[in-house]
Amino acid sequence: MPNLTKIILLSVLCWCVVTVGQPVAAAEQPNVILIICDDLNDYVEGFGGHPNARTPNMARLARSGVAFTQAHCNIPICGPSRASLFTGIDPHNSGCYGFERWDKYEVLQNSRTMMDHFRANGYLTLGTGKLMHHMVRNEWNEYGNPADYGPFAFDGTDKVAHPDVPAPYRDIGAVDGSFGPFVNLSGRETPEGKPLTWRNGDWGIKSHALRVASQEDRDLTPDERNGNWAVENLLQLADDSDGKPFFMGVGFIRPHTPLIVPQRFFKMFPLDSIELPVIRPGDVEDTHALSVRSIPNDREPDSPRTADMGSRLFTNLAASYKSRDEALRLFIQAYLASVASVDEQFGRILDVVDRTTLKDNTIIVLTSDHGWGMGEKDYLYKNSLWQESTQVPLIVRAPGTAAAGRKCDQPVSLIDLYPTLIDLCSLTGDTKESDKGHALDGHSIKPLLENPKSGEWSGPDAVLTALYKWRMKYDPAQESYSLRSKDWRYIRYSNGKEELYDETEDPYEWNNLADLPEQASRLAAFREKLQSRLPKPGTIPTQPVWQPKQAAKPRSDAEAWKDKYFATHPHADANKDGKLTWVELKAYRTKIGETKRE
């Protein structure tokens, strides 16, 4: 025994000599799955948005992670919101407030996207579906399916609204004027008598037919195909024990319009059981959003007319049915069905993680690019600075870090996800590719994951959200913004008009307190806080110069606006000659309710 003791001691001593000064092996880096839904508001179980919401799988994730009940987007419309999320840079620092390709902005060209930074840190990066609004393939190691807004009803020539939707709402078009079940269309026709089929894919040559013989015998929806892609790849990754860590992005399109999903999801929400949102009559009257929702007048481009998508959707929806309540119930039924369909696909992903070796070393983030107003303030859309539009669901499961089953009401934003994942995954290196890039604007929410109620984090006490408005060039000093703290929301529009809401006493934001003398000091504090967050006046980020296609000569702002409008509204070209005249544009906008009838 004495000799054995000496041998053991000698062995330990030799091990110590050999290992002293050697670096300790780094802890295994976690995998990341980032799932982003499109236009998903707080109609998620546990977020208090709608009592009829059925999202058991999202709720299951929340039970194993932290749900942020006051998470907000940085700009409440798809393209620029996703640009902010995946680059970690606010619109006022990138110049990206609109729908020009994000990779054309100088600041964003010289800054690493989230997935590119993960790849630079040795991660395998995989994506599918709608992640960034303009997908750049070389940002990823592997990519599955491109963004697909289908299914669409198809009349043999054009994609049209679902046949169950009446006019004038259906006249808005195949995307925003359409909702209903994905069913067999045999024998169904347009009001003009054209037979209908289903079609999928992007606009133009990528579109292809979809078959629906029955609910059990049909082609898959885009979200189902992305769910399959994610499940198949996760199963392979779970079996690859020697593989590198991975970052996976999954972009589900629903509940973006058209709200078309399999019929069984509609049956989950009988119309007579659907509760309506709390809407105060005349609530819009003390607000100022209408004062900046202007579009150029057809005949006098310098004389704006107040009109906007959200008001038009709300007005036309209500006009299409016997009552506003019936209209909202039908739309909300389709919205809840769409959310439930996404929850099912998310559940399949969660099942794979929880039943494989991925469970204890995979971070899961679930969120949306922005919210959606459901008739509050006579508005049915995104792109407002009110709660319904800026708030997003955010659930983070981080094994070993996130307190399971807890909620956090600290206002945070999508801009905080990038630095949080860097923190959780111990990523290194600069996210700027050159001096023309910009550092991350967000702050890691890891302290809030560890201690949701009292965690001290380095972020601001109010979330900054900008508003999209089509412009030829964006000046951060001239845009509209909201600041949302725990107890207050402050809005300053580009024309200087203001709104102020006490979120503790007035969670529906019914009473604009900005004109009350007793709020003068609070308003002044918010003005100063907003000014401190924005670049100095005159500091305008370099932005892409928008050029209409095949422009033979310099265009006026009005002509440029018309060309831009044509690019997103191809059906306005009545005679199909590839050119949009002012007469055709006016007729089209009158048809879809964008201007008053004369």
- Taking the model in full, what pTM does it have? 0.88
Secondary structure of residue 462 in the 3-state scheme: coil
Dihedral sign of CA atoms 515, 516, 521, 525 in order: negative
Give the pLDDT of residue 324. Answer: 97
Bridge partners, residue 395, by sequence: 67, 366
Give the pLDDT of residue 23. Answer: 29
Name the amino acid, one letter, at 65: G
Three-state secondary structure of 124-161: EEEEEECCCCCCCHHHCCEECCCCCCCCEEECCCCEEC
Q: Which of 570, 558, 557 is nearest to 298 (CA)?
A: 558
Q: Which residues have C-beta within 8 Å of that of residue 365, sequence separation ≥ 6?
A: 32, 33, 34, 35, 394, 395, 396, 397, 417, 421
Domain boundaries, the chain: 41-148+221-266+314-459, 151-220, 548-598
CA angle in degrees (0–180, nearest 5) for 390-393-394: 115
Digitized pLDDT (tens) for each residue of the chain, 598 residues in all: 344 344 333 333 333 333 333 323 335 899 999 999 999 999 999 999 999 999 999 999 999 999 999 999 999 999 999 999 999 999 999 999 999 999 999 999 999 999 999 999 999 999 999 999 998 999 999 999 999 999 999 999 999 999 999 999 999 999 999 999 999 999 999 999 999 999 997 655 578 899 999 999 999 999 999 999 999 999 999 998 778 999 999 999 999 999 999 999 999 999 999 999 999 999 999 999 999 985 544 433 443 333 589 999 999 999 999 999 999 999 999 999 999 999 999 999 999 999 999 999 999 999 999 999 999 999 999 999 999 999 999 999 999 999 999 999 999 999 999 999 999 999 999 999 999 999 999 999 999 999 999 888 999 999 999 999 988 899 999 999 999 999 999 999 999 999 999 999 999 999 999 999 999 999 999 999 999 999 998 899 999 987 665 544 555 667 777 877 776 677 787 777 777 888 778 777 777 766 433 2
Residue with the two structure tokens 């209209």? 327
Rounded CA separation 443/466 (Å): 18
Q: Select 41-148+221-266+314-459's CATH number: 3.40.47.10, 3.40.50.300, 3.30.300.130, 3.40.720.10.
A: 3.40.720.10
Q: Which of 134, 123, 114, 179 is nearest to 422 (CA)?
A: 114
H-helix segments, 517-556: 520-533
Rounded CA separation 470/123 (Å): 37
Tokens in use for 378?
């006579």
Give the pLDDT of residue 19. Answer: 35
Give all strands (DSSP E) within 144-257, no chain letters: 152-154, 159-160, 179-182, 197-200, 208-210, 246-252
Cis ω on the peptide bond leading into residue 452 (within 30° of 0)? no
Residue with the two structure tokens 């590119």? 116
Tokens in use for 92?
């006022």
Residue with the two structure tokens 């100063």? 528
Give the pLDDT of residue 471. Answer: 87
Residue with the two structure tokens 């529906």? 508
Give the pLDDT of residue 562. Answer: 81
Phi, psi of 66 (to 5 degrees): -115, 130
Phi, psi of 95 (to 5 degrees): 85, 0
Q: Which residues have C-beta within 8 Å of that of residue 49, sequence separation ≥ 6?
A: 41, 42, 43
Largest CA distance in the chain: 107
Give the pLDDT of residue 555. Answer: 56
Give the pLDDT of residue 201. Answer: 79
Bridge partners, residue 363, by sequence: 32
**What's the number of CA atoms in the CB half-sphere (13 Å) around residue 549?**
8
Q: What is the CA radius of gyration of the chain?
A: 26
**What's the number of CA atoms in the CB half-sphere (13 Å) around residue 447?**
10
Specify the pairing of strand 197-200 against strand 208-210.
Answer: antiparallel
Rounded CA separation 497/514 (Å): 9
Rounded CA separation 352/569 (Å): 41
Neighbour tally for 401: CB within 10 Å: 17
Phi, psi of 402 (to 5 degrees): -75, 135
Name the amino acid, one letter, at 429: G
